[in-house]
Amino acid sequence: MGFSLISIHCLVLALFLQLTVGYGSNVSYDSRSFIIDGQRKLLISTAIHYPRSVPAMWPGLIQLAKEGGANVIESYVFWNGHELSPDNYYFEGRYDLVKFVKTVQQAGMYMMLRIGPFVAAEWNFGGVPVWLHYVPGTVFRTDNEQWKYYMKKFTTYIVDLMKKEKLFASQGGPIIMAQVENEYGYYEQSYGDGGKKYALWAANMALSQNIGVPWIMCQQWDTPDPVINTCNGFYCDDFTPSSSKSPKIWTENWPGWFKTFGDVDPHRPVEDVAYAVARFFQKGGSVHNYYMYHGGTNFGRTAGGPFITTSYDYDAPIDEYGLPRLPKWGHLKELHGALKLCENALITGERTNVSLGPQQEANVFTDSSGVCAAFLANMDNKTDTVVKFRNKTYHLPAWSVSILPDCKNVVYNTAKVGSQASVVDMVPENLRPSVVPPSKDLKSLQWKVFVEKPGIWATPEFNMTGFVDHINTTKDSTDYLWITTSLYVDSDEKFLKDRSSPVLSVKSKGHALHVFVNQKLQGSGFGNGSVFSFESEIPISLKAGKNEIALLSMTVGLQTAGPQYEWIGAGLTSVEIKGLNKGAVNLTKFNWTYKIGLLGEQLNLYKGDDLKSTNWVSTTEPPKTKPLTWYKALVDPPSGNEPVGLDMIHMGKGLAWLNGEEIGRYWPRKSPKHHDCVDHCDYRGKFLPNKCSTGCGEPTQRWYHVPRSWFKPSGNVLVIFEEIGGDPTQIRFSKRKATGVCSSVSEDHPSVSVESWTTAVKDTNDKKATAQLSCPSNTRISAIKFSSFGNPSGACGSYIQGDCHDPNSASVLEKVCLNRRDCSIELSKDNFDIGHCPGTIRRLAVEAVCS
């Protein structure tokens, strides 16, 4: 059959349209996997929340996830970031959801869209608009008509927006599944009959949207078909879907944990993360999502909790600033590669279980074509073991899984981390004033200063006896609420003569409080991420006569989840003064005057677009340790192109902005010194958030991410509001950069890599484990800081030479690696003296400097 020129042109045009416009994909599923256009898919998903980074970062983050072996991006939809007031929608900047989904599509990846619209997520008010709480008759997340009306309305708005942009897979877009509600199964019973009715309603409401792809509900055990229930947690290998027709989906694997101001820094070892993932797929899982893969930043006042930090780093494979966290990112990349080698067997083969010991087992996947893959697991959390499988012996470290894509050769073990680690530093740089010529002298920086007067700064909101709820008063329009009264002190008070101090005793539902008496800061009180309420005893200075008492009540993010969480309040409940002649004076029933917010907020000082405003006072010597002070300066961006953090270690507590963009809350509050922190974390055994903590006695968050895209070439307006006093001359920009790389590989590491599997010689007896180093782009290995082949100990940045050491280790590495960006070296007799430490498994540890 021949073709005319016209028909050829038509064919080319049709192919072009198919590539550029795209035909709709058919997305279905069965008990084994998702099926996209007739092909079964093993789906490895990574959570990247669009408003927790900036549009300029999105392509790089998504590409890094793809390079890490993922084929799906997941994100919640943040209702309160989009519907600022009823029917007032916002989809710009960090909230440009359509742009984010299209960026995922351009990267050739799928999308899991978790619409909710309740999301929890350590996000302010769980993602629900605060205004909705004040719509009369509304009760969140139950069989309540008002709630259901607004929830359906917003869900439909998002669905229609995605349909309009043709972003569902059924339209040719990347979205292959969507989620309604979020972890409601935890709380359903607390709502009684209304809870079950609501869950069923939410599922049916979602199905009625007709999006052409499956709906899921996580941690929801009574989902109706065809909605799929899914698992969240540190481990989901034992999870079974409620329907035999549904695939096994893990929507949230937590590779780390969030932080709260004043607490330690939690870490989850990558060996345990990899173990959990491998066990999930070993036990029939086919869709897995890391929550988070890139945690990002809670810019502005978006952090919830309360007390969630501005950083939402989450110890994730990509750090807050967008850099791969090594070795976590690399070790999981190798895991994903190993899983992909087994993909056909995992989602089409027959699975059989083989006992290898009391706490050891194999799962074997085979099909009629001869494909065979095996997962060998040692669930013992203390003891390594040797098992026999198909007439071969295999060493299994405690709490580990080995993956054999051909049922013979180990390509990956979860406990053997061979990918490189990195030394990442925050390199400080002075604030550079935007003047001509530029000056390196920090004192020449021209500051503008505005000092708030404690107390009522304009017409008060109201006066009343006693206290009102803080949140019900501010409706979260600000963190701040002024509450003032006055107290008359007789001149014959004993404390005036013996110079003792009366004590102001306060009780509060949360979250924080500053106490001012006669315009001077007396002290503060605050709760924490575990207990929001607090009681404080604050010594105060009183004078004879009238004393003005001004209390600045503060929230630090609103509640994010829990039964009836929207009713959890904040603010003062009791105030009294102790130490007077007549004993304690209860001020609770005094007449109090209320004022919402700060004068500086009312004046929009944070917008940074009016340096000539008469509200500001110019100075080259800004006041230090001055409470309630706004600072403003014109600065140039830091040199280079590395990610930037604002170092606030010398400040107290407050808010920061650059060019009107909200950096967020800062509070270098220190964690308790007595907390159980560790120098080395034992990955073996079940993980909990308090298992592997660091940072005892240190600030929970010192640096605050300032995206590079927020900087102009010059004339950047930095605005700081400091609540309690600090030294603004000590504020620095710091550049986040990898200054070194490490590799630690033992002789028993898998000798066949994932990358070389397709060409690997199946008999691996003559192959040796290999150490690899790679510096960031535009840098080279300039020095070998540490090198030892034998039995070194420690971790990257703190290796220690053992009693067995090849003295030529350093010279061997220098010869192979110096002045190169990357290098690799085999642990063989050609490179090292393998006669050392006979009878033991030797290890090569190396740390290199990148510059």
Residues annotated catalytic, as ranges: 183, 252
Name every residue whose Cβ is closer than 8 Å to that of residue 177 and which is 6 or more positions away in sequence: 27, 34, 112, 113, 213, 214, 215, 216
Tokens of 348: 């089409």
Non-local (6+) Cβ contacts of 708 within 8 A are 56, 637, 641, 643, 644
CA distance 268 to 252: 14
Residues forming a β-bridge with 81: none
Structure tokens belonging to residue 1: 């059959």
A 10 A CB-CB count for 690 gives 12
Using alpha carbons, select from 781, 761, 834 the residue that is nearest to residue 804. 834
Radius of gyration of the chain (CA): 30
Distance CA 585, CA 612 (A): 47
DSSP state of 198: H
DSSP 775: P
SS3 of 442-456: the string is HHHCCEEEEECCCCC
Q: How far is CA 753 from CA 30, 413, 624, 750, 758, in A?
A: 32, 11, 57, 7, 10
φ and ψ of 292, to 5 deg = -110, 160
- Edge to edge, what strands does the sheet with 512-517 contain? 462-465, 591-596, 480-489, 545-554, 512-517, 520-526
721: left (phi over 0), alpha (psi -120 to 50) or beta: beta
DSSP string, 613-674: -TT-EEESS--SS-SSEEEEEEEEPPSSSS-EEEE-TT--SEEEEETTEEEEEE--PBPPTT
Place of tokens 């490490």: 742
Phi-psi region of 50 (alpha: psi -120 to 50; beta: other; left: phi over 0): alpha
Could you give the dihedral angle defined by the CA atoms of residues 391, 392, 393 and 398, in that order, rounded to the nearest 10 degrees? -100
- Encode 44-55 in three state secondary structure: EEEEECHHHCCC
660-687 b/e with 16+ CB inside 10 Å = b? ebbbbbbbbbebeeeeebeeebebbeeb
Residue 333 near residue 67, CB atoms below 8 Å: yes
Nearest to 512 by CA among 464, 557, 463: 557
Distance CA 479, CA 592 (A): 19
d(CA 661, CA 10) in angstroms, rounded, equals 50
CB-count exposure of residue 324 (10 Å: 0-12, 13-18, 19+): buried
Which amino acid is located at 843 in the chain?
R
Q: Is 361 helix (H, G, I), strand (E, B) or coil?
A: strand
Query: Which pair of tokens denotes residue 845?
Result: 């540890």
Q: Can you tell me whether residue 774 is helix, strand or coil?
A: strand
Measured CA to CA, the distance from residue 300 to residue 664 in angstroms comes to 4
**DSSP letters for 309-359:** -SB--TT-SB-TTS-B-TTHHHHHHHHHHHHHHTHHHHHHSEEEEEEEETT
Give the number of other Cβ atoms within 10 Å of residue 379's Cβ. Answer: 17
Tokens (6 digits) for 617: 């006072």
Q: Residue 198 corresponds to which amino acid?
A: Y
